[in-house]
């Protein structure tokens, strides 16, 4: 193992790990700037609903180029409010992807809507828009045509198609030209789950702006963090007003503290989290560049490695915003064994994702079975997320790749 000096990470309050031991699965990138901003809030009496939330919202709306940014307590909360603002309700059908984190589907179930899954593109893991177009046309037509796309049970054939909910998987935008065309043709709302893709661009356009409403999430493994928290973005005034009200216990503009126009929620973000997020936003380009550099180190070592296949970057992705680094093991490689061997070397990994339709509560409720979404299931069986964050050193990446090679060879 060769050791290199890693000057780049000096002076940021992080311990440098020259031989690449103790590799974390992911790691937030926090400096004294963030620590000072949070400490400063704690010296005031405004711990919620103060100037930091407004400043953080302003920073995100300027970066993304949208009219409205609304800070909320989690990505799940942001998606739930987006579902409400889109008018999705009991029995409505929403086309979405089974290859995602469960939250993108759960928020539909909260409002008793029916997720209609279509399979994904094998190269990117993003929703297959040819299937989406076919499903939308059939669901609008109704009858026998529609029932082909419905789950085996748990969905009334009398439902109606209301919206599309694509996910920008692993920091790569879904294919929005066809999604926007399908939305326009059938008058469907589009909620963009961009919880993994702050800063990514589709044909030069920022993610979050590619549907009617977009959501970014800030859990500690995401591109920027607020510990827990998220941001809803939209250009629509009516949606923004409703989401602001619902986030704050249903108080409409003009309502007094104990007046409530709507049934709302407490989905507010606190001031400490917002201060953390505001400073992280000011460092976003730096944070994305560091993640890009780590991804490039992986790419250089893994592109030609036998036994693994890399995620494809679509030509429509004008900027990737690296969220995780996922490789696909070749057919016939025993993933469990690879995971155990890497773990024995101190290299953590995660299978990414378990298909949503095969999660127990989903299979029980809708009657899904293995084989229903074969591309998703194949990706899910073969995918492995390697340790990834902007704070990894090149030595650490090298060690992960050396260990992966050994694990594949033996
Ligand atoms: C992280 C994430 C979310 C939101 O998660 P929270 O933990 O609620 O912030 C939603 N969808 C996807 C695809 C995600 O990766």
How confident is the model over 6-60, as pLDDT tens digits? 444 433 444 455 555 789 999 999 999 999 999 999 999 999 999 999 999 999 9
- 347 and 201, same domain (yes or no): no
Distance 291 CA to ligand 1 centre (A): 19
Q: Atom 6 in ligand 1: which residue has the minimum CA distance?
A: 75
310 in Cβ contact with 384 (< 8 Å): no
Between the CA of 306 and the centroid of ligand 1 the distance, in Å, is 32
Lookup: tokens for 321:
């915003």
Query: To 5 degrees, how large is the angle CA 359–CA 164–CA 281?
Result: 85
* CATH number of residue 339's parent domain: 3.90.1150.10
- Containing domain of residue 367, as a range? 284-409
Which of 267, 282, 297 represents a domain boundary (last residue)? 282
The CATH number assigned to the domain holding 262 equals 3.40.640.10
Same domain, 191 and 233: yes
Q: How far is the CA of 148 from the centre of ligand 1 (A)?
A: 29
Q: For ligand 1, atom 13, name the residue with the nearest CA.
A: 101
**Do 222 and 298 sit in the same domain of this protein?**
no
Residue 396, in any domain of the structure: yes
State how far the Cα of 142 lies from the Cα of 148, in Å rounded to an integer.
10
Q: Is 217 in the pocket of ligand 1 (CB under 6 A)?
A: yes
Question: What is the pairing mode between strands 189-193 and 213-217?
Answer: parallel
Q: Is 100 in the pocket of ligand 1 (CB under 6 A)?
A: yes
Given the CA of residue 77, which atom of ligand 1 is nearest to it?
8
Confidence band, pLDDT 50/70/90 cuts, at residue 188? very high
In a domain, 218, yes or no: yes
List of residues 6+ apart from 384 with CB closer than 8 A: 326, 327, 328, 329, 335, 338, 339, 349, 350, 351, 352
pTM score above 0.75? yes
pLDDT per position as a tens digit, 240-286: 999 999 999 999 999 998 999 999 999 999 999 999 999 999 999 99
Number of domains in the chain: 2
The pLDDT value recorded for residue 19 is 56
- Residue 10 confidence (pLDDT): 39
């Amino acid at each position: 193992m060769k050791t290199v000096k890693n000057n780049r990470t000096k002076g940021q309050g992080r311990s440098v790990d020259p031989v690449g031991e103790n590799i974390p699965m992911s790691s937030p990138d926090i400096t004294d700037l963030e620590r000072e901003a949070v400490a400063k809030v704690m010296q005031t009496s405004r711990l919620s609903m103060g100037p930091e939330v407004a400043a953080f919202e302003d920073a995100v709306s300027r970066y993304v180029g949208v009219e409205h940014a609304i800070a909320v307590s989690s990505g799940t909360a942001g998606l739930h409010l987006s579902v409400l603002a889109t008018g999705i309700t009991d029995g409505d059908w929403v086309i979405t992807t089974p290859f995602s984190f469960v939250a993108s589907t759960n928020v539909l179930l909260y409002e008793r809507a029916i997720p209609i899954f279509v399979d994904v593109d094998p190269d990117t893991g993003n929703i297959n828009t040819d299937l989406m177009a076919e499903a939308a046309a059939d669901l609008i037509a109704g009858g026998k045509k529609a029932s082909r796309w419905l789950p085996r049970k748990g969905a009334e054939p009398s439902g109606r198609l209301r919206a599309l909910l694509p996910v920008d998987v692993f920091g790569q935008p879904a294919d929005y030209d066809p999604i926007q065309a399908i939305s326009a043709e059938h008058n469907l709302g589009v909620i963009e789950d961009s919880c993994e893709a702050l800063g990514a661009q589709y044909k030069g356009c920022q993610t979050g702006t590619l549907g009617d409403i977009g959501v970014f999430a800030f859990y500690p493994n995401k591109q920027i963090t607020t510990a827990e928290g998220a941001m809803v973005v939209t250009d629509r005034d009516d949606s923004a007003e409703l989401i602001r009200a619902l986030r704050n216990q249903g108080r409409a503009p003009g309502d007094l503290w104990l007046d409530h126009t709507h049934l709302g929620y407490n989905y507010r973000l606190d001031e400490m989290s917002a201060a953390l997020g505001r400073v992280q936003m000011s460092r976003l380009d730096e944070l994305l560049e560091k993640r890009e550099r780590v991804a490039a180190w992986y790419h250089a070592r893994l592109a030609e490695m036998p036994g693994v296949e890399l995620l494809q970057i679509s030509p429509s992705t004008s900027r990737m915003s690296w969220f995780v680094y996922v490789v696909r093991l070749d057919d016939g490689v025993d993933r469990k064994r690879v995971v155990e061997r890497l773990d024995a070397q101190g290299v953590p990994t995660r299978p990414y994702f378990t298909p949503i339709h095969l999660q127990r509560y989903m299979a029980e409720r809708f009657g899904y079975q293995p084989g229903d979404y074969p591309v998703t299931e194949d990706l899910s069986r073969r995918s492995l997320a390697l340790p990834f964050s902007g704070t990894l050193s090149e030595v650490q990446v090298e060690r992960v790749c050396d260990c992966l090679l050994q694990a594949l060879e033996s």
